[in-house]
Amino acid sequence: MRVIAGEYRSRLLAAPCGLDTRPTSDKLRGTLFNVLGPRLVGVRFADLYAGSGAVGIEAISRGAEFVWFAENARPAATAIRDNLRTLKIASGYALEDRGARKLLESLTKKGTALDVVFLDPPYEEGREYEETLGYLGRNAAALLNAEAVVVAEHSRKKPLTERYGKLMRTRVLEQGEAALSFYGVEQGE
């Protein structure tokens, strides 16, 4: 696994030990960041269920202002710290090792609005998708900027719902067994 583009291009990243984590492939990560494109410079980015941190590190490499990583599996949180240390990334990020919900609740309480949210829970954890996307949709006004994009990686065989509160799906990209569902914030009442 490697950083695809930007400041840390071609640098290798370590994955957590064991089979509990399924890193986003370089190819799918490339697709994600090709879609996000220039919107990354200066954004506030959340990498939920971060695993190795590859997606958040890619965002940092491409100019994100700040990245929040959320990962509660100890080996994965260790891998994120190791990858950031290896790349000598000393600022511009925070790691919440109690999980995605704790991070989102903290950001909501602080009034921190995000520009991009990426989530990639284990594919078999359908409840995590429902809870996290539901939380984002219910708290969109406090947690997401008006033009924010929320992207969920999931199994192509297990499509996600079109709508979660104020989040409306705008696009789905499929690649192999994986899919990326893109959501925007519904404007108005």
Where are the chain's structural domains?
A: 26-185
At 22 the pLDDT is: 62
**144 phi, psi to nearest 5 deg:** -125, 135
Mention every residue, 6+ apart, whose C-beta is less than 8 A from residue 38: none
Please give the model's pTM, rounded to 2 decimal places.
0.95
Tokens coding 91:
């600022």
Per-residue pLDDT for 19 more than 60? no
At 16 the pLDDT is: 83
Residue 4 pLDDT class (50, 70, 90 cuts)? very high
For residues 48-71, b (16+ Cβ closer than 10 Å) or e, as one string? Answer: bbbbbbbbbbbbbbbebebbbbbb
The CATH label, of 3.40.50.10190, 3.40.50.2020, 3.40.50.150, 3.40.50.920, for the domain at 26-185 is: 3.40.50.150
Q: Choose between 20 and 7: higher pLDDT.
A: 7
